[in-house]
């Protein structure tokens, strides 16, 4: 089973700053099958990025995904107040299972 480890656990930044969130896999993951989600309190998660770097419908272009193999990154180029939330990475692998990372909380500094 592939384990996804996200870092940092909490990231404290100010609006306007750049955020870099990391997702590391215990084994190589197909880039086609790596996704990122945003979750705000009391809401369901929302798909942001799929295929490691493709923005989902409605995802602002300040969000970008990159990476391959075991290292993936979600970058928010310039933080807006509505971006402060918890972010999860997720993979779908040869075992046909979904696994999620434990999440990174992006909080206002």
Partner 1 sequence: QVQLQESGPGLVKPSQTLSLTCTVSGGSVTSGDYYWSWIRQHPGRGLEWIGYIYYSGITYYNPSLKSRIAISLDTSKNQFSLKLISVTAADTAVYYCAGGYSSVDYWGQGTLVTVSS
Tell me the per-residue interface mask from 16 to 35 with partner 1, x by CB under 8 A, - otherwise. ----------------xx-x
Cis previous bond, 8, omega within 30: yes
CB 89 within 8 A of CB 5: no
Pairwise CA distance, residues 5 & 23, whole Å:
6
**45 sits near partner 1 (criterion: CB under 8 A):** yes
**2 sits near partner 1 (criterion: CB under 8 A):** no
Q: Which two tokens stand for residue 57?
A: 């419908």
In whole angstroms, the minimum distance from the beta carbon of 64 to partner 1 comes to: 16
Residues near partner 1, by CB under 8 A: 1, 32-33, 35, 37, 43-47, 50-51, 56, 88, 90, 92, 96-103
């Amino acid at each position: 089973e592939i384990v996804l480890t996200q870092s940092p656990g909490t990231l404290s930044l100010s609006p306007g700053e750049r955020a870099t969130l990391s997702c590391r896999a215990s084994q190589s993951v197909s880039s086609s099958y790596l996704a990122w989600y945003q979750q705000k309190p009391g809401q369901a998660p929302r798909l942001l990025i799929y295929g490691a770097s493709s923005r989902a419908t409605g995802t602002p272009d300040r969000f970008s995904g990159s990476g391959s193999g075991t290292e993936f990154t979600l970058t928010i180029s310039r933080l807006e107040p509505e971006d402060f939330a918890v972010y999860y990475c997720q993979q779908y692998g040869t075992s046909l299972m979904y696994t999620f990372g434990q999440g990174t909380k992006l909080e206002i500094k």
